[in-house]
Structures are given as structure tokens and as C-alpha cells.
Amino acid sequence: MPKHSKKYREAIKKVDPDKQYSLEQAIDIIKGVNYVKFNCSMDIAVRLGVDPRQANQMVRGVASLPHGIGKEVRVLVLTGPENEASARAAGAEHVGLDDYLEKIQGGWTDIDVIICSPDVMPKVGRLGKVLGPRGLMPNPKSGTVTTDVGTAVKEVKAGKIDFRVDKTGIIHTTIGKMDFTTQQLAENAVELLQVLNKLKPAVVKESYFKTIYLSGTMTPSVRIDKSTVSGI
């Protein structure tokens, strides 16, 4: 966000950087300082007390947000002919195998999630250098490598999100849209945080949740008082 933006400077004055707010207060503040004319996302950034360089401290998982994220998720299912009908019936935009692998090899990644059946993973794995950096590589831990591709598509469409800690120890993801109610956004955030809490590595003995911030696409960040969030 450009520092010279007058609207941004006005917005940042309404947020006390030294104060921690309850989840609901933070959501209301962000809604109040949001000045963009489109229905932007509300994002959460959770700094965890982990060292992602250590395999036993890598935090990755999925959360099924009760109210979804307010975005139409474009799904590609890579599978054999026997699963194509169920994938299409579940709402997948793209279904197939070799033709799509060739398109991806050529640079096409105009999708949000890739789901595949286990039998095709050897072929999909060869595209790791293309899919990995874009966060599109299917993974059994996230439920995107499965024999039941139809159910996986339905879950993703309903609001199931895949997350992983980055190299700085932060989980960053969307919890919904600005036009969601405060309660909907709060419930989505609590669900994600509770899932993260269950994934706490056993070797982490000190503080696990270091900081939690909410922000809109074009708003200042607001720090959450983690003691106000139930279940963490």
C-alpha cells in the first residue's frame, strides 16, 4: 500500500498499533477503515513459534471454514476416465489427465486447486517444479490426493482451505470477504485457529501463537488479543 495514499493515512490513524483487540473488534475496525469499492478479502496472518526448517516443526493442514471464503474456487481434477463423471458432477471446472499435464508443462496454471487420484501421482509429480512454487501440488495431507475425487471437489467448493507455514513461520490465508457479517468472519477465523492449535508440533514447548493479525486487501493490520479467542 503506497504510504502517500491519503485514504490509507486516514485509515491507519484509526488503528492503535500498540493495542490488541478482540477478534470481533478487529473485524469491525477493518470493515470501518476499508475504503476500496470492491468486495475485497479479509486475511489473517498467524506467526507461529516454530522453525519451518525443521521437518518436525512444519505446520500444514486443512480447515473447513463454516462460511466458505466467498470466492468461486476453480478446480482441476487429474484422474483416469473412471473418475471423470463424479468429478464433473461435483462441480470441477476441468477434468482429465494427459492433455492438462501437457498444458501445465507449457505454463498454464489458471486454476486455484488441483485434485488427483493416487494412481496418477507419478505423472503429476514430474511437474513439481511448476506446481510447487505456485502452491498447486496435490498432497495427501491436504486431501487433494484421494480416491474419492468427487467428495474432495465438493469440500473445496464448500470452503475447505489448504494452508502451510512459510519460511518465516507465518500462516497467511483468507477467512472471507468484506461483505461477510462480523460473526461469519469471526467463526471462520476461530475454526482456522483451532485447527492450527491441534497441529501444534510436540517439540514446541514455548509460546505457539506468537502474533495474530487481521487485515483487508487495502487496510492496515489489526493485532488480535489471542486470549479472546476460544480454543487456543
Structural domain boundaries in the chain: 18-68+161-228, 75-157
The domain over range 75-157 is classified in CATH as 3.30.1340.30: no
pLDDT over 80 at 58, yes or no: yes
One-letter amino acid identity for 142? S
Q: How many CB atoms lie within 10 A of CB 94?
A: 18
Burial of 82 (0-12, 13-18, 19+ CB in 10 A): exposed
Residue 145 grid cell? 490426493
**Banded pLDDT at 180 (limits 50, 70, 90):** very high
Helices (H) and strands (E) in the chain, counts: 8, 9
Reported confidence tier of residue 206, pLDDT bands at 50, 70, 90: confident
CATH of domain 18-68+161-228: 3.30.190.20
Is the pLDDT at 4 greater than 80? The verdict is no
Tell me: the pLDDT tens digits for 59-106?
988 898 999 999 888 999 999 999 999 999 999 999 999 999 999 999
- What would the pLDDT profile of 7-23 be if each residue is shown by its tens digit? 767 777 778 888 999 99
Residue range 204-231: mean pLDDT, rounded: 92
Tens digit of pLDDT for each residue in 112-124? 999 999 999 999 9
